[in-house]
């Protein structure tokens, strides 16, 4: 797990924390296995400090467009998918947030792939948790 932002108090109004798996992941469950502890720690810290927050999650997905005839990659593009902001007050909210985010983000990735445009998931490169104080 890799975090580009150090854990610290939510001094301002907004923070984001980016977690990157240390191996190639092509499915959200794999990414969660690598990033879940960091995400939980960030959200738990806010609860312990009594900070009222709303959190949302963004994932960075590298897609490859495949040539059906040759099976080769024609094009690669990173696309970002996000959830809506959710209030986090207690530990149970963290579990609900992660579960709901997983369902929504998996649905968005599936919808994108199933458009029939020959795009496939190459890797999910980052989980970004965004927090806003309210």
> Model pTM?
0.86
| SS3 state at 104 | helix
The pLDDT, as a whole number, for residue 118 is 81
Q: What is the pLDDT at residue 14?
A: 86
Spacing of C-alpha 40 from chain mean position: 12
Give residue-wise pLDDT tens across range 63-109: 999 888 998 999 999 999 999 999 999 999 999 999 999 999 999 99
pLDDT band of residue 17 (cuts 50, 70, 90) is very high
Distance CA 91, CA 44 (A): 7
Enclosing H/E stretch for 112: helix 91-113
Supply the pLDDT for residue 2: 42
Query: So what's the pLDDT on residue 4?
Result: 42
Domains and CATH numbers, the chain: 2-133 (3.30.1490.100)
* pLDDT score for 10: 55
Q: Which residue has the tokens 């985010």?
A: 101
Identify the residue with better confidence: 128 or 71.
Answer: 128
CA distance 133 to 111: 31
Please determine, for residue 3, whether its predicted confidence score (pLDDT) is greater than 50. Answer: no
118: left (phi over 0), alpha (psi -120 to 50) or beta: left
The pLDDT mean for the chain works out to 89
Beta strands in 1-134 (DSSP E): 2-3, 14-20, 53-66, 73-82, 86-88, 119-133
């Amino acid at each position: 797990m890799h975090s580009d932002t150090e854990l610290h108090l939510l001094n301002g109004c907004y923070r984001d924390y980016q977690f990157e798996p240390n191996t190639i992941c092509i499915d959200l469950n794999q990414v969660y296995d690598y990033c879940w502890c960091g995400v939980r720690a960030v959200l738990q810290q806010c609860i312990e400090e009594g900070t009222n927050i709303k959190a949302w999650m963004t994932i960075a997905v590298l897609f490859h467009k495949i040539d059906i005839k040759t099976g080769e990659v024609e094009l690669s593009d990173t696309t970002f998918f996000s959830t809506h902001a959710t209030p986090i007050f207690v530990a149970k909210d963290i579990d609900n947030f992660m579960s709901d985010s997983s369902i929504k983000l998996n649905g968005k990735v599936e919808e994108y792939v199933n458009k029939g445009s020959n795009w496939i998931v190459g890797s999910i490169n980052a989980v970004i948790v965004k927090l806003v104080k309210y």
